Each structure stands twice: as structure tokens, then as C-alpha cells.
Structure 1
Amino acid sequence: MKGFTALIISSLNSFDLNIVRKFAKQGCNIVLNGNQINENIVKTIQNEYQQNKTIYLSGNIQNEIDIHKLVKQILNHFQHIDILIINNECKRHYRASIDEFPTEKWRDIIEHNIILNFALVKTLWPYMKRQHFGRIINIANEHSLAASEYKSACITSHHALLGLNKAISIEGASFGITSNIICPGYIKTNFFEQYDYIKTLADLVLFLCSDQARSITGQSIPWCLT
């Protein structure tokens, strides 16, 4: 993976930080995007892994215009984007019964959790097709595989990710593009409390982006505490 460029859409919690370090150790260039990232952590990573580049492009992407600007910035730095990792935290989380759920709020959650996800993939798709390589990893949660009450919008959007994942895998197969989704259960993201769990989950992300996993695509992988 040395020389690859990985775009990580994240809030850089301890789980995401493990992913960043895993890829940096492999010699990947890292691009971080998110609106809650601690820039001191980014500087620490930059100092730890000076043999490759880690850059932080701040801002919360809200639409396709933002996405195109982000991709243009990355290509100006690295000329290619090989890996896309999206941590699909349900940031617009909202609880309400079906009869009391505001339609506009429901639409907003779908827009954020699935349509922006599709727009990211759509924007990167021509570049990944051209280079005949791409790795797309979505990190969702248990709501991609199960349900709980008062979360109809979040559950619907995360189930939709499963369908998008399969569609990407079919269309990307001829171009060396794979797509997989990981569905972890609740994670205590304090680095020391669940270090092994978070570390092995980061190992899985790294493996799915490797050449050894080139035939693994379209999968929805549950990942739970034991």
C-alpha cells in the first residue's frame, strides 16, 4: 500500500485513529476530513510518520459541490485517491415514534447518511475506474443489520447502505474496485478500555483494502463484542 492515498471521512475517535496509524505504517498518504477533528492529533500523526504525508482538510461536506472541492484539493496534493473510508456515524441522530417523526428531519437524515455517501463514491468513481483500482469501506453500525424503536430514519439509511454496497461491488468488479461495509456493535471508544476490539477492527479495515482481499467485495460484516 506504500504510496497509496486514503481519504478518511471521520471524527477521528480512537477507532478512526487506529485506522489512520495502521495505514500510515504501511506508507499510505492520509487525507482526513471532518468537522470535529483535533488538529493536535493530526500534528502528532504527522510527526510520527514523516515518511508519508498526512493532511487535514477541515470542513463538513454538505453537498456535491463540497465533495468536488475536496476531491480537487486532494488530487492537487497526491494526484490519485485509492481508498475511501467513511465512518457513518449517525450524526443527525433523532429519536421519535413513526407518527411523530418530522418528515423534514427524516429527509435530512437520509440525505446525510446515504445520499452524501453515494455522492462521495460517485465523485471518486471515474478516477478509480481509470486507475483500475479502488477500495471503498463503509463503517456503519448494528442498525444496518437490525432495528430498534424510535430510530426509523437512522435504521432505514443504514439498511440502504447495504444495498449501495452491493451495487458498488457489482459495478466495480470489472475495474478492480471493491466495496465492503463493516457493522460494529456499540464500541466504548476510550482507547484503553476496548483497545483490542478497536485494534482488531482497524486490522480488518486494513485487510479489506489490501491486495489479498481483492476478491472480497459486496460483503456486510458484523463485528461485535464477545
Structure 2
Amino acid sequence: MFLKGKSAIVTGSTSGIGLALAKALAAEGASVMINGFGDADAIETERVALQAASGAKALYDGADMAKPDQIAAMVARAQDAFGGVDIAISNAGIQHVAPIEDFPVEKWDAILAINLSSSFHLMRAVVPGMKARGWGRILTTASAHSLVASPNKAAYVAAKHGIAGLTKTVALETAPFGVTVNCISPGYVWTPLVENQIPDTMAARGLTREQVINDVLLAAQPTKQFVLPEQVAALALFLCRDEAASITGANYSMDGGWTAA
């Protein structure tokens, strides 16, 4: 358990990639604060399981990632409970798809707030403590869309490109203090959110399940395989190790070859 005695916040972690990240950190002994929306009983079940796995504290905070004051309060609560925040992973995100002329302004604002600005607010809150302790790991779940674009995703692509730039900037600012800042850019990840889109797409386009998976969802991924949440979590764990202390400001593609072309 190489993270025993360390503490972490993972935003957007009540399901999917975020929950896989939290589980991986807890399995290595870290105290973990999870965050996100969902069924209260299901969230409590996951919190209890994380605490059992880590042998340390596990907390839940329902902070809305669109609200800077709630992000600051979440970090303050974690610092009080854990004695500091050593690892901060910004994972929360939302999506909306529409041509730019039809893109609702409120959707643009929400996606930029949750997918980009929340990372800024989280980093801003945790960096002082990390600098003071001389150790920290900041990670962000970006996307293949931090490197390439797709039509009808103006806000999402803009936000994820912004994450790549924010990562580089904060990495340079914190490099002398033992703090690393990196992002991971997955392609399509197999999560309940993705799985639940398949029946609607089948009906809307008159396609089979296999056609939706291979010709729609995985059209850009040469491996024709979904990225697994556990694979993202494994890379995140490595970036938290002391062996990764010289890796900072990096954007790790994990997209089945999508951005290799």
C-alpha cells in the first residue's frame, strides 16, 4: 500500500471512471473523498467499501462542480478531515452535442464550468498545501478531444483543449515544489453512461448493437476496443508513485490509437 498516509479527492467519482480512480487509490491505502451526484444509498455503499479497502477514512461530499464556493468548501473539509490533500483528481464532466448555431448558451456555460473551470478551482485550492508539504499529485481526466476535434462538440472540445493548457501551466508553476500535474486523455471508455446510449442509437439509426459499437462509438479507435475505467485508474496510480516524480506537464493518450493518425 504505497499511498498509506496519503489523502485524495476525486471529483465526479460516484460512478464510472471516477469511482474506478477512487477504488484504485483506496486499494493502495489512501484516504479518499468522493464527489458527485447519484442515489444516496448507493453512494454510501461505495463509501463504506472504500473505507474498508483502504483501512483509512473515506468521505463523500456532494459539492456542485459548477459552483466555485462549493469546491472550496469541499477542499477545506477534506483538509480538516485528512490533515491535507496530497492527491487531487479532477474527473467531473458533462456533454452536449449540437451544431454551433444551435448550441444553447446555457449548455456552453455549464460544460465550461464543470469540465474546465472546476479543475482550476480545485487546483487553486489544493496547491498551497502541496507546496508547503513538498509533495503533491494533481491529475485531470481530459479526453482524446484535448488533442483532436469532432463536429458538434464545441464546448466539450474547447474545455478539454483548455485542460491540456491548464495542466502545462500549473505543472510549470509547481515543478520546484515536488508537485506534479498531468492529464490522462482517454478515448471512449466503457461506462454505464456509454452503455445506456446504445439502445437509443440503435433505435434512432436502425442499427444493430454491434454496428453502434463498431461503426459509431468506436469509429475513431483503431483497436475497436473500449478503454476500461480500470486502465485509466492504473495509469493514474503510476503517476502518483515516486517513480513518476519527473513526469509533469504531460498529456497521456489512452485512446486505442485514435490520435495517432
* TM-score normalised over the length of structure 1: 0.89
Counterpart selection for 1:3 from 2, 5, 10: 5
Aligned partner letter, 1:42:
R
Q: Alpha-carbon deviation of 1:152? A: 0.6
RCO higher in structure (CA 8 A, sep ≥6): 1
SS at match of 1:36: coil
Q: Which residue of 2 aligns with 1:222?
A: 253
Counterpart selection for 1:201 from 232, 235, 242: 232
Superposition pairs of residues 27-106 of structure 1, within 5 angstroms = 27-36=29-38, 38-49=43-54, 51-89=55-93, 91=94, 93-106=95-108
Counterpart selection for 1:157 from 153, 156, 159: 159
What are the Cα deviations for residues 120-176 of structure 1, in whole angstroms up to 9, with x where unaligned?
111112111111111011012221111111111111111011100000111010111
Q: Relative to total residues, which structure has the larger helix share, 1 or 2?
A: 2
Partners in 2 of 1:185 and 1:196 — Cα distance? 7
Q: Alpha-carbon deviation of 1:40? A: 1.6
Partners in 1 of 2:140 and 2:240 — Cα distance? 12
The share of aligned pairs that are identical, in percent, is 33
Q: How many residues align?
A: 221
What are the Cα deviations for residues 82-136 of structure 1, in whole angstroms up to 9, with x where unaligned?
00011142x1x22221223233432332222212211111111211111111101
Aligned partner letter, 2:50:
I
More moved, 61-70 vs 158-167:
61-70
Does residue 212 (structure 1) correspond to residue 243 (structure 2)? The answer is: yes
Q: Relative to total residues, which structure has the larger strand share, 1 or 2?
A: 1
More moved, 196-205 vs 135-144:
196-205
Aligned partner letter, 1:53:
K
SS at match of 1:73: helix
Superposition pairs of residues 143-182 of structure 1, within 5 angstroms = 143-182=145-184
Superposition pairs of residues 182-197 of structure 1, within 5 angstroms = 182-189=184-191, 197=228
Contact 1:135–1:178 (8 Å) recurs in 2: yes
Unaligned stretches of 5+ in structure 1? none
Q: Alpha-carbon deviation of 1:48? A: 3.6
Unaligned stretches of 5+ in structure 2? 196-224
More moved, 205-214 vs 5-14:
5-14
